[in-house]
Copies of this chain bind each other. A is one copy, B any other.
Amino acid sequence: MGALHAGHGRLIEAARRESAVVAVSIFVNPSQFNQSEDYLRYPRPLETDLAFCAAHGVDIVFAPSVEEMYPQPQLTWVDVTRVADHMEGRFRPGHFRGMATVVLKLLQIAQPERAYFGEKDAQQLAVVRRMVKDLNLPVEVAGVETVREPDGLALSSRNQYLSAEERAIAPRIYAALRDAAELIAAGETSAEAVRRRAEAVLAEEPRMRVEYLEIADEDMQPVEHITGPVRVAAAVCVGPTRLIDNVRCVARGSVGT
């Protein structure tokens, strides 16, 4: 969606290492925003993005208009059930339908051999992976690790909405997720206990409102008893800005990868 930052840079670098031709799509997709969401104010610094792509050795930038992507009323939609049901899917109704549909469109247009997605949006990545398998799309999906500020805040185009004060407290999200992951690594198997701990860390800061904090399996299903690899994922509103983040962790003694 543009407003490129070092997290996107990491995606491009991975693609650059592994590919003869690297294409970047920049498209703020209206169909994945709720009406109440920030579609109109979402940043669109196209000139800066193009310079960023040039500096990273990108061969092709595809930055279509809304009319080019949706020349007629869109009647066809892709639904990925189950994987998209919880967390972001629950709090942003229609988001994954719009995202999956536009990703499928972009994949059909560009026909890449590999497509790179960031792990910061872990559920989005899981939805795309499932769609690609279920629909036999001839593309390999590559997940790329989250890039963080030195204080731990995950890079996001929405970070620029934060006031100085909000920015100062935002790293608490990652701190809470890290605490949760450590608890799990130390042997805690109750998701409820892990959630309570992480939520306590976030509750110390009154300007934060937790939308969800879940421990989910690789299919993005919330678990109550932690027995294998899980993701601790959260959406937290910092003032008016909604941020998401997640960490992957493995229960002590489980057969993780």
Chain A residues within CB distance 8 Å of chain B: 72, 74-83, 100-101, 104-105, 108-109, 111, 130-131, 133-138
Which one, B75, B79, B82, B136, contacts A82 given CB within 8 A? B75
Cβ–Cβ < 8 Å partners of A133 in chain B: 72
By DSSP majority rule, is chain A's interface helix, strand, loop, or mixed? mixed
- Does B80 contact A78, Cβ atoms closer than 8 Å? no
Cβ–Cβ < 8 Å partners of A78 in chain B: 76-79, 135
Which one, B75, B81, B135, contacts A134 given CB within 8 A? B75
- Does B77 contact A79, Cβ atoms closer than 8 Å? yes
- Does B76 contact A136, Cβ atoms closer than 8 Å? no
Cβ–Cβ < 8 Å partners of A130 in chain B: 75-76
Cβ–Cβ < 8 Å partners of A104 in chain B: 135
- Does B138 contact A111, Cβ atoms closer than 8 Å? yes
User: Which residue of chain B is the closest to A106 with respect to CB atoms?
Assistant: B136
